[in-house]
Amino acid sequence: MAGAPVVILGTGQGGFQAAASLREEGFAGRIVLVGEEPDLPYQRPPLSKAYLAGALDEAMVRLRPKSFYAEHAIGFLPGERANGIDRAGRRLRLASGGTLEYDHLVLALGARPRRLPIPGVELDGVMYLRTLADATALRHRLPLAREVVLVGAGFIGLEFAAVAAKLGAAVRIVEATGCVMGRVVSPPVSRCFAETHARWGNRLLFDTGIVRVLGADGRATGVETVHGEVLPADLVVICIGVVPNVELAAAAGLATDDGIVVDDHLLTADPAISAIGDCARYPSRFADGTTRLESVQNAVDQARCVAARLAGRPVPYAAVPWFWSDQGELRLQIAGLTAGHDRAVLRGDPGEGRFSVFCFRAGRLIGVESVNRPADHMAGRRILAEASELTPEQAADPGYDLKAHAAVLKGGRPGKAHSRPQTLS
Amino acid sequence: MPKITYVHPDGEMHVLEVPVGTSVMQAAIANGIDGIVAECGGSMMCATCHVYVDASQLDLLPPTSSIENDMLDATASERRANSRLSCQLVVTAELDGLVVNLPENQI
């Protein structure tokens, strides 16, 4: 539909960035940003950290002030959702009635918390953590909570547990597997975080789950584990991962596979529809085949990639994935994707809480996990971006100058081992 | 309220009145000043809120932490002696009149 706007569905980090980047790229057409939530787009990372702890007020988590949208001619439709996509007619059916035509549609639909289908989850005091509304409700309750049960020891859950412990709650963490953050980090990092939570007084229960939430007078009073143990709780927080929002795309006949399937330009099989962020499955050289990532970096870099394409400068999406988590004094930064590594090399001392794990597969660096070692992280990001050769021996050598290794790449001589100055080794 | 001046590479200036306790980065984002990206929201994870502080005012600022120092090595525009991450510059009464220059690139 010539003259119709670029419509962006979803006002998370990716949706917002797509709109902002279109203008930065000089896109002159109309832009409409449509989101289910009632207010302006906001940052998600602080919701489980500083905002939850009460250290940031609501205005500070907004990505931009209201005036930004008018100044950049970005139409903003809050409290709205699409019920269907008419691909032939290039228009959306809106939940409020009516339709919205698009010239291009960007699906930035995000993900929703995986629900735990057990008795008692409807009780007052059982909460999830995804949206600003979730975080606001939780931040009001948390200071009053004495006994907290967290279900799921992933990034978000552990960030919540770090804040809860600091506010003085007794925290029990129920985890289905045998370690924390096991889906995304190597054993040394996982152990470090488990030990630190234990030192804060958080009790970790591994290889178990909960079968019901117990309650009285409509309020949660505890949980029962699969092993029959009853844990008292006046607050139960469930953080067992997310499910990508693919239903709208699937109903429109687009391919989905734990994510909306897109190509290396983040385009679906329909040339008028792109998908980005938590909801998109895309081919990545950092993964075996395709991947779907849940991170700010992934959402905003994909948004920039799509914006550049719509502004006439198409480039394949190739950004290095990176992630972070703040838990108490531990700052975890991850560059690349470390799952599936066959060799892990330690740099620094886990005993001192400052170390990195360099992960290799078949001799190639695939990712770097850093705890309180930001310089390793930034060097890792650069080395991965340039697909440079860093050997496990170099990574393990505390005297090897990683910064210089990465700086050589920055200077425009990427990836050629023989081009490195002798002084580096 | 303390006044903070943001200078774009082309010389365009914005002066903001910033409440004490707010960071130079937060004030820029809240007022829609382009040129500060702040992808990580102020966690010293991304180095995309890089600024060059007016050299005569460097001594007014809190010292650079080791984390900030490490992150400054990875800015998109060159690091200089007066480079700081604006998320770490929390405005106080003493910073009234601070001038920060925005780099060419943040990403």
Q: Tell me, what CATH number does B75's domain have?
A: 3.10.20.30
User: Inter-chain contact A378–B45, Cβ cutoff 8 Å?
Assistant: no
Q: Is residue B106 part of a domain?
A: no
Q: What is the mean pLDDT of residues A262-270?
A: 98
Q: Is residue B45 part of a domain?
A: yes
What does the alpha-carbon distance between residue A224 and residue A214 come to, in Å, rounded to a whole number? 7
- Nearest by CB to B45, from A61, A324, A372: name it: A324
State how beta strands A364-371 and A330-336 pair: antiparallel
- pLDDT at A422 > cutoff 70: no
Query: pLDDT tier at A176 (50, 70, 90 boundaries)?
Result: very high
- Own/partner contacts of A408-411, CB < 8 Å, gap of 24 or more, are A409/A382, A409/A383, A409/A385, A410/A382
Q: For a pLDDT cut of 90, what percent of chain A falls above it?
A: 90
Residues 6+ apart with CB under 8 A from A105: A6, A7, A8, A9, A85, A90, A92, A272, A273, A274
Confidence (pLDDT) at A2 = 58
User: Inter-chain contact A45–B41, Cβ cutoff 8 Å?
Assistant: yes
Query: pLDDT tier at A415 (50, 70, 90 boundaries)?
Result: very low
pLDDT in tens, A245-261: 999 999 999 999 999 99
- Nearest by CB to B26, from A45, A60, A297: name it: A60
Confidence (pLDDT) at A331 = 96
Cα distances from A267 to residues A68, A309, A369, in angstroms, run 28, 10, 30
- pLDDT at A416 > cutoff 50: no
Q: Is residue B7 part of a domain?
A: yes
Contact criterion met (CB below 8 Å) for A276 and A14: yes
Compare all CA atoms of chain B with the CA of A304 and give the residue at the minimum distance: B107
* Dihedral over Cα of A103, A104, A105, A106: its sign: negative
What does the alpha-carbon distance between residue A66 and residue A76 come to, in Å, rounded to a whole number? 10
Q: Is residue B13 part of a domain?
A: yes
Query: pLDDT tier at A60 (50, 70, 90 boundaries)?
Result: confident
Residues 6+ apart with CB under 8 A from A334: A184, A185, A322, A323, A324, A367, A368, A369, A370, A377
pTM score: 0.93
Report the mean per-residue pLDDT for chain A: 93
Q: What is the mean pLDDT of residues A87-92?
A: 98
Tally of helices (H runs) and strands (E runs) in chain A:
11, 26
pLDDT in tens, A302-322: 999 999 999 999 999 999 999
User: Inter-chain contact A378–B26, Cβ cutoff 8 Å?
Assistant: no
Q: Is residue B37 part of a domain?
A: yes
* Dihedral over Cα of A408, A413, A417, A423: its sign: negative
Tell me how crowded residue A296 is: count the other CB atoms within 10 A of its CB. 23
- pLDDT at A412 > cutoff 50: no
SS3 content of chain B, % helix, strand, coil (to 5): 25, 20, 55
Of the CATH numbers 3.30.460.10, 3.50.50.60, 3.40.50.720, 3.10.20.30, which one belongs to the domain with range A120-240? 3.50.50.60
Of the CATH numbers 3.50.50.60, 3.30.9.10, 3.40.50.720, 3.40.1440.10, which one belongs to the domain with range A6-112+243-310? 3.50.50.60
Higher pLDDT, A19 or A423: A19
Tell me how crowded residue B43 is: count the other CB atoms within 10 A of its CB. 19
Biggest alpha carbon–alpha carbon distance for chain B: 33
- Sequence ranges of the domains in chain A: 6-112+243-310, 120-240, 329-424
Q: Is residue B26 part of a domain?
A: yes
What does the alpha-carbon distance between residue A324 and residue A331 come to, in Å, rounded to a whole number? 7
Q: Check if B55 contacts A (Cβ < 8 Å).
A: no
Q: Is residue B107 part of a domain?
A: no
Q: What is the mean pLDDT of residues A106-126?
A: 98
Domain range spanning residue B11?
3-101
User: Inter-chain contact B73–A333, Cβ cutoff 8 Å?
Assistant: no
- pLDDT at A237 > cutoff 80: yes
User: Inter-chain contact B41–A46, Cβ cutoff 8 Å?
Assistant: yes
Give the number of domains in chain B. Answer: 1
Query: pLDDT tier at A424 (50, 70, 90 boundaries)?
Result: very low
Tokens of A146: 């004495």
Residues of chain B with pLDDT under 70: none
Q: Which residues of B are less than 8 Å from A66 in CB distance? A: none
Q: Which residues of B are less than 8 Å from A331 in CB distance? A: 44-45, 67
Q: Check if B78 contacts A (Cβ < 8 Å).
A: no
Query: pLDDT tier at A347 (50, 70, 90 boundaries)?
Result: very high
CA–CA min distance A399, chain B (Å): 17
Confidence (pLDDT) at A285 = 94
Yes or no: is domain A329-424 CATH 3.30.390.30?
Answer: yes
Compare all CA atoms of chain B with the CA of A69 and give the residue at the minimum distance: B32
Biggest alpha carbon–alpha carbon distance for chain A: 73
Chain A: which residues have CB within 8 Å of chain B?
24, 43, 45-46, 49, 59-65, 67-68, 71, 296-297, 300, 304, 324, 326, 331, 333, 372, 374-375, 378, 381-382, 403
Q: Is residue B73 part of a domain?
A: yes
Query: pLDDT tier at A215 (50, 70, 90 boundaries)?
Result: very high
Q: What is A180-219 written as a DSSP string?
A: TTTTTS-HHHHHHHHHHHHHTTPEEE-S--EEEEEEETTE
* Residue that has been written with the tokens 């008419």 in this structure: A86
Does the interface predicted TM-score (ipTM) exceed 0.90?
no
